[in-house]
Amino acid sequence: MPEGKEFMAIYHKIDDTDLSVIKNCCGSRLFSKKRQTNKYRIRSGILDDAQTQKPSFHIFVGLNVSWDEITDNLKQFNEMPTGR
């Protein structure tokens, strides 16, 4: 990471996962890392560039609050779809 590392804190969330957050502020999550596979999951909201990816479906829609209305025609799943 070229800049801003001093504003990050990394916590061992569970046995195989590290979680990076903004420290001394709001604690917003930046990314998580699986230690065994070295795979990162980056929160798209932290990126400066315009997003080129668009959603292709909604997951966990059965857990949505009543006021969260999905207004597009994307496929919806109550759980994580398998085979992706």
pLDDT band at 13 (very low <50, low <70, confident <90, very high): confident
Question: pLDDT digit string (tens) for 17-66?
Answer: 988 888 877 778 888 899 889 898 888 777 777 778 788 999 999 998 98
Q: Comparing C-alpha atoms, which of 41, 14, 38 is closest to residue 29? A: 41
Query: So where are the chain's domains?
Result: 1-45, 54-84
Tokens of 81: 């779809």
SS3 of residue 56 by DSSP = coil
- Asked whether the predicted pLDDT for residue 84 surpasses 70, the reply is no
The pLDDT of residue 9: 83
The pLDDT of residue 72: 95
